[in-house]
Amino acid sequence: MRYEAVIGLEIHVELATASKLFCACRVEFGAPPNANTCPVCLGLPGSLPVLNAKAVEHAVKAALALNCRVAAVSKFDRKNYFYPDLPKGYQISQYDLPVASRGLVEVVVGEVTRRVGIRRVHLEDDAGKLVHEGPAQATVAEAVSSLVDYNRAGVPLIEIVSEADLRSPEEARVFLEEVKTLLQYTAVSECKMEEGSLRVDCNISLRPCGQTTYGTPVELKNLGSFRSAQRALAYEIERQAQLLDEAGRVVRETRHWDEARGVSIALREKEEAQDYRYFPDPDLLPMVFDPGWVERMRAALPELPRQRWRRLVESYGLSPYDAGVITASQALADFYEDTVRAGAGAKAAANWVMGELLRYLNAQGTPAGEFPTTPDHLAELLALVEAGRISGTMAKSVFEEMCRTRQAPSQLVQSKGLEQLGDRTELAPVIEQVLAENPGVAADYRAGKEKALGFLVGQVMRKTQGRAHPRLVNQWLAERLRER
Amino acid sequence: MSITSEQTEHVAKLARLALAPEEIALYTRQLAQILAHMHVLSQVDVNGVEPTLHVIPDLANVTRPDASRPGLGAELAVANAPEQADGYFRVPRMGKEG
Amino acid sequence: MAGKLYRLSAADASRALRAGEFSLEELLSSYLARHEEVEPATRAFITHDAGRARERVRRLSAGWGEKAEKVLAGIPAAIKDNLCTREVATTCGSRMLTGFLPPYDATVVERLQAAGMVLLGKTNLDEFAMGSSTETSAYGATANPWRRGRVPGGSSGGSAAAVAAGQAAYALGSDTGGSVRQPAAFCGLVGLKPTYGRVSRYGLVAYASSLDQVGTITRTVEDSALVLGAIAGHDPLDSTSVAAPVPDYRAALGRRLDGLRLGVPREYLAVALEEGVRRRVEEAISDLERLGAQVGECSLPHSEYALSAYYIIASAEASSNLARYDGIRHGPRAWEEELGAMYRETRRLAFGSEVKRRIMLGTYVLSAGYYDAYYLRAQKVRTLVKRDFSLALERFDALVCPTSPTVAFGLGDRLDDPLTMYAVDVLTIPVNLAGLPAMSVPCGLWEGLPVGLQLIGRPLGEETLITVGHALEQCRPLDPERRGPLYRSGGELGAI
């Protein structure tokens, strides 16, 4: 049978704050174990939480960027369960009054534009980290013991829950990229998956094409990247389709994605169904969002990717595809626009940013948002090309050098003598030398073999290490040969 | 209000309390008794009454600025732990909890 | 001046210290000697550290010039053992916190330290403050110094016994359902539970967060004004603390009662009161009327539901607050091979039966399918209880009633029946549900045991309570013949 996949996502995003959600401990990746802890985030007896204003602001900004409605009143609830990474025996989260709900994100995959609902955005504190001791390949259950580090406990998170509006693994990946871009644009998170600051769980079910009711959902966890989310979903579709064809049913369960082996594995069933016993946290007061304040936050949002994409197409004349590539990252789009502002042509700048710059960034694995050169330098380089002072080929090597040394392109061109040779008195001796060394080829040309000219031009270029202006060389060589 | 020993066992599981069979019997009896007493609440007309989330009226939006300061440090953090290793808290293997 | 300095109130001791009548060392020595004498009878303390107190006095004496301005400087005090004290064991009367040394001071402790407190030690309590008799402590029961075999009340029974017996000039307690007022009443002391949010809860080990409030246990109303003044005020570490400025509570002492309207809740006199309690309370109310107060009757119609609502809410919050005791970060641990068994065995071994009972009850009322019927309904009933008080306090400046239906009952009398024990707090619990300030003031003896009068005020109306309490104290001294515990030797004191 043919099936349709129904996919919903839960995205946990670490907010970009200096301190934790409910205490002043530093938020810092890679600190020594338990270095950034205090009575509050260790859940020591008697400690009390106090809410970080910045985290609330970030949550509201993210919600607005996701087109959500911000609640009039929002409150914190305790989610009660036992786990060693949870120091208080409960997580401070939000149950029935999240910060925001009913949002919408549009994703474009090929010809399809999918409107993906955002069910809710809520604030919560993160848990600590467990390190399992024992044989290297041991599973959690097999480890002899575990070590707990509460540095991450209390770090502010938002959980973004999408509606089950996605229909393919690719749509899911594109949606994730869109959300990530929005969060980076609004500067609410750095979204570093490798540091765990963005984590994704997927819910996926299949149903026969045409059916409107939902199938049995399976939850996928441990998705280390958007790519692995896409792979895991594709695997899950195959697996569930096979189960449905053979047994007619899928078991509702949570599965762990094993990226190395490319398979999902069922997690052991819990002894009893989870019962989180949510109730309002008496230690924290409600958040009351004044509509005026929310509107000011909305007004203070930066231009979002979709708006920027439209503007780049309309006012710079970029193709929709190029504008899409450039606006996928706010930093890249900023770099691009700054380059144009520094005098570069819109088209040329786009080609360079998408070509040489991205190639360099990918090759070097430069962290997102960091650039090896400046928009001013790139604009200067493009101006040199435009003025014919260096060749396009030469410009690429100047760019490499620019990135490596962080020097201005004009300086590099000058100090390395890379400027294009377009002066007849300088090139005439070289042309003479080439003609003298290749009398046969010159004779061929004169005999009517026009292709022979190309070889001679090549020789001149070689002798000038590529600096000679090829069009001028061509012209002058032809003139010289006609003279005889 | 009746409560079964299975319910008592379920609640004990949720609360991570090991109970001996005689304790299950005792708590089943006592919880039933207490809950029966609390049943008086069902007589109260609470239609249209908002629950009290906080007794302090109109207090909301209590926040602190996002400024960090040094915590206790690992040494003090783990000082009270029954088992520690290199600045970590150590716990036995997860087993079924994992 | 020699000898029995421990009999002085904190305010009197402070005045004498400042007048140079005796030294800080002499005052402390008097308390330490008295402690040696009576502690075997009262068993009021879990931790007592004479060495630390002497060291503290040495340092205070050295800088006396500037410290002398602070009224409580140099006065020896005791702290209930559910308030965190830096590097001083804090047990909550539970095996669960054996060996726990908090790395920080509770805000109230920090404020008293800044005011020059000499900390003597940490007092006994019902385990995690869950009880009304100080009998559920893992460290054994505390005795009521007034009579052998009687409970001191609870849960702040250790604090009350210590102040009553002369082992500390004043003490801090905590009051979730009456835990400061009822032991104060049972031990012939002044117990003040401030408005919820008036005093920081930071560092108070939580039992039921929406009801808990730190309170004072003192021998006089003047002392309660002094101590409250030192601990009250906004704390940025407690989101539920209120920002209102702290008045000079001493200014409320000695004000006349003329024109003050006092309400007597009809329902509170309808409960089964011991004859002596009813009689002394009625006498006290007449006295207040004679002093110029206008006394009238009022009604708190939802009172009969308060007890049930309280136990649901308190147990629910407790079940969550006590989830952090899991054998990982502090306290003892059952050495099991698997985590799940470690949790369950640690909590089985280290929690006492009353604590487990409330965790079970709280877990049950929050669990799927029961939340609406119990927890949510209880919070709605709480709104009604609160509304009753608001209406009554529109007509009256304060309400007056007994603190407890009985005088101190016998050790072990109510331990086997949770419901009988819970009913002990029927007159104090509604006040916590409404977050109001209340004070228990001694209003006489019945068969040799103290009776407490409860004054209930408007939100942040502590000054009215101090005014009324002080007037009553002046016209009805509890122990004019000096036969109470302060005037008895260790051998004559009540013991277990």
Q: Do C320 and A80 touch (CB under 8 A)?
A: yes
- Asked if residue C2 has pLDDT above 60, the reply is no
Q: What percent of chain C has pLDDT over 90?
A: 93
Q: Alpha-carbon torsion A446, A447, A448, A449, what sign?
A: negative
Tokens 């020993």 map to which residue?
Answer: B5
- Nearest Cα of chain C lies from the Cα of B16 at a distance, in angstroms, of 5
Whole-complex ipTM: 0.96
The band of C1, judged by pLDDT with boundaries at 50, 70 and 90, is: very low
Helix/strand/coil for C81? coil
Q: Chain B: which residues have CB within 8 Å of chain A?
A: 10, 13-14, 16, 53-54, 56, 59-74, 77-78, 85-98
Residue C270 has pLDDT above 80, yes or no: yes
Q: Nearest Cα to C122, choosing from C136, C152, C142?
A: C142
Inform me whether the C-beta atom of residue B93 falls under 8 Å from chain C C-beta atoms.
yes
C202 touches chain A (CB under 8 A): yes
**Cross-chain CB nearest to C203 (options A42, A46, A78):** A46
Q: Where are the domains of chain B?
A: 1-43
What is d(CA C151, CA A64) in angstroms, rounded to the nearest whole number? 59
Extract the tokens encoding C366. Answer: 């929050």
Give the lowest-confidence range in A34-43, A75-84, A184-193, C106-115.
A184-193
Instruction: Count CB pairs under 8 A between chains A and C.
Output: 100
Which residues of C form the catalytic set? 80, 155, 179
3 state SS of C462:
helix
Q: What is the mean pLDDT of chain A?
A: 90
Strand extents, DSSP E, C308-429: 398-402
**With bands split at pLDDT 50, 70 and 90, how would you rate the model's confidence at C416?**
confident
In this structure, CATH architecture of domain C5-301+383-492:
Alpha-Beta Complex (3.90)
The domain B1-43 is placed in CATH, from the list 2.40.50.100, 1.10.8.60, 3.30.1330.200, 1.10.20.60, at: 1.10.20.60
- Predicted confidence at residue C19, as pLDDT, reads 93
> Could you give the CA distance from residue C201 to residue C82 in angstroms, rounded to a whole number?
11
Q: Is the pLDDT of residue A269 over 70?
A: no
- The confidence band for C421, taking pLDDT boundaries of 50, 70 and 90, is confident
pLDDT (0 to 100) of residue C236:
97
Which comes out higher in pLDDT, residue C235 or A247? C235
- Beta strand A3-14 pairing with A156-162: antiparallel
For B20-48, the pLDDT digits (tens) are 999 999 999 999 999 999 999 999 999 99
Chain B: closest CA distance from residue A37 (Å)? 5
φ, ψ dihedrals at C17, nearest 5°: -60, -45
Contact yes or no for C490/C38 (Cβ under 8 A): yes
Q: What is the pLDDT of residue A390?
A: 81
How confident is the model over A318-365, as pLDDT tens digits? 998 899 889 988 889 999 999 999 999 999 999 999 998 989 888 888
pTM: 0.90
- Rounded average pLDDT over A435-463: 86
What's the confidence (pLDDT) of residue A484?
Answer: 57
Note whether C363 contacts B31, CB cutoff 8 Å.
no
From the CA of A148, how many Å to the nearest CA of chain C? 9
Q: What is the per-residue pLDDT for A391?
A: 78
Q: What is the pLDDT of residue A272?
A: 52
Residues A22, A25, A26, A31: is their CA dihedral positive or negative? negative
C168-215 tens-digit pLDDT: 999 999 999 999 999 999 999 999 999 999 999 999 999 999 999 999
Q: Mean pLDDT over residues C446-451, rounded?
A: 96
Cβ of residue B35 closer than 8 Å to a chain C Cβ: yes
**Structural tokens at position C253:** 């002492």
C446, burial (CB in 10 Å: exposed 0-12, middle 13-18, buried 19+): middle
Tell me the pLDDT band of A139, cut-offs 50, 70 and 90. Answer: low
Q: Would you state the structure tokens that stand for residue A348, as one six-digit string?
A: 């040329």
The β-bridge partners of C400 are C455
A35, A143, A287 member nearest B61 (Cβ): A287
Task: For residue A133, give the amino acid letter.
Answer: E
Please name which of A370, A323, A377 lies closest in space to residue A350, comparing C-alpha atoms: A323
Q: Are the beta carbons of C11 and C222 closer than 8 angstroms?
A: yes
Phi, psi of A468, deg, nearest 5: -65, 145
Total beta-carbon pairs less than 8 A apart between chain A and chain B: 138
Of A90-99, A260-269, A292-301, C475-484, minimum mean pLDDT range: A260-269
**What confidence tens digit (pLDDT) does each residue in A221-251 have?**
989 889 999 999 999 999 999 999 998 889 8
Name all domains of chain A by residue range, CATH numbers in brackets.
3-296 (no CATH), 303-415 (no CATH), 424-483 (1.10.10.410)
DSSP C254: T
Residues 60-99 of chain A with CB under 8 A from chain B are 73, 75, 82-84
- C220 close to C186: Cβ distance less than 8 angstroms: no
- The reported pLDDT for the residue numbered A271 is 47
Return the top range by mean pLDDT from A222-226, B90-94, C462-466. Answer: C462-466
Q: Does C336 touch chain B (CB under 8 A)?
A: yes
- pLDDT, average across residues A66-87: 97
Residue B64 pLDDT level (bands cut at 50, 70, 90): very high
**B97 has a chain C CB within 8 A of its CB:** yes
